Each structure stands twice: as structure tokens, then as C-alpha cells.
Amino acid sequence: MTTALFELLREHDLTEISISELCRTAGVHRTTFYGHYGDIFAFAADSFASILDEMSNGGDEPELAAERSPSEDAAEENNPAPDLTDLDHAQLTTRGTDAVRQAFEHVAENRAAYRMMFNTRVDAGFRRELFVRMFHLASLTIAAWRSQGGTSPAIDTPTAAAFIAGGMVGVLEDWANSDDTDIEARTSSVLLLSTAWCAVPDLSDAVK
């Protein structure tokens, strides 16, 4: 159904898409939809944020994540978060670099749909959902850096995580609304600004 939503958003505002049209495009019955979501807005917000969350967790490739059913997502809802504390500095940097790059790639591949989600007057909590997931992942990463002495004890984790999460939402919105295609340059820029949790003197090699 997520793939069907992307297709419809290329031509229609979210407020113009009916559940019947979504289910018809996806080839599923409406009872399947209503078994998991109350309206099109809740589904749209969850679909977009869940896919970005999957990529940030190093899970499915974007194409595979887009084909997941609501029941598959719900079944994994209570899975524990990835344990990053066993990763060294280089591994954390690589993981973070890959997650950011994949997010930019995914948005670029579905730019029209993301523009619609970011710019619609009714975003169904999309930005909030995206912020919450980014905040959670940033908190985990900061904790991992701290366990290895990679961040200053003076850094307040919730404040740093909120700063990073809010920044990523803004960066992704700017990326979606632009025609920029230089993913490597944008990834490098994000990492160079993330000194609170990517405490590496020179990150230029991280995006090569």
C-alpha cells in the first residue's frame, strides 16, 4: 500500500486521496486498511516515517521496506532497538553515514511524493512522527558515543538529540523541495555538522 500511496501522491494532494482509491491502486480490500489505520492521514504519516526508520536502523532496502504490509510492520513494533554500544568509532561513523545517505537516496527517488507530504496543509503528524523517530535514533547514537568517551559529559542527551532530530527533518524537507542530486555532498555536510555525536576530527573520508 505504501507503493500505491507514493504513486498517487505524484499526482494528487494527500487530502484528495480516498481510502477506496488507495486500496484499489494497491489491490487490497478496504477491510485490510481499516484493520490497521483509522484514516488516510495516519497511514501516510506512518508509512513515510516507518520507511525512514527502517533505513536508519540498517534494515530493509527502501524498495523492500515500501512493500511491507501494515501487519508486518505491526508485528515488529515491539522489537528492541539496535544495540550500538558494541560498535567502535569507525563503525558508528560508517553506520551513521550509510543511514543519512540512504535517507537522501530514498527521498530523491520519491521526491514528488515527499514534496507533497512536506508541503500539504494537513500533514497528519508526518513531521512529528519523523522527528520522534529521528530523536530516538539520535539518542541511541549519542549514548553509544558516550559509552566510549566520544562525547563531552557536559552534553545533555535530550537536548542534543532534539537538536539533531529537528535539523534532520529540516534538511530532508529542504532536500525534498530542491532539485539537488549530489547525495554525497549533502551527506558530508550533515556529518560535518553533527559534531555532538560524530566526534571525529575529519569526516571527509567517511563519505567516500
Long-range pairs of 13-16 with CB within 8 A, sequence gap ≥ 24 = 13/116, 13/120, 14/40, 14/41, 14/44, 14/116, 14/117, 14/120, 14/122, 14/123, 14/124, 15/120, 15/121, 15/122
Q: What is the pLDDT of residue 205?
A: 52
| Three cell numbers, residue 78 | 515491539
Pick 128 or 170 by higher pLDDT: 170
The enclosing domain of 156 has a CATH number of 1.10.357.10
- Pick from 142, 113, 143, 122: which is nearest to 52 by CA? 113
Q: Give the residue-averaged pLDDT of 136-149.
A: 81
- Pick from 166, 162, 165, 146: which is nearest to 154 by CA? 146
| Cβ-count burial 57-66 (b if 16+ within 10 Å, e if not) | beeeebeebb
Identify the residue whose cell numbers are 558515543. Answer: 145
Range of the domain at 191: 2-207
Q: How many CA atoms lie within 13 A of 164 on its CB side?
A: 28
Q: Give tens-digit pLDDT for 62-120.
A: 333 334 444 334 434 444 556 666 777 678 778 878 888 988 998 898 888 788 888 87
How many domains, in total, are found in the chain?
Answer: 1
Burial of 149: CB neighbours in 10 Å, binned 0-12, 13-18, 19+ = exposed
Q: What is the pLDDT of residue 200?
A: 42
Instruction: Give residue 119's Cα distance to chain centre.
Output: 17
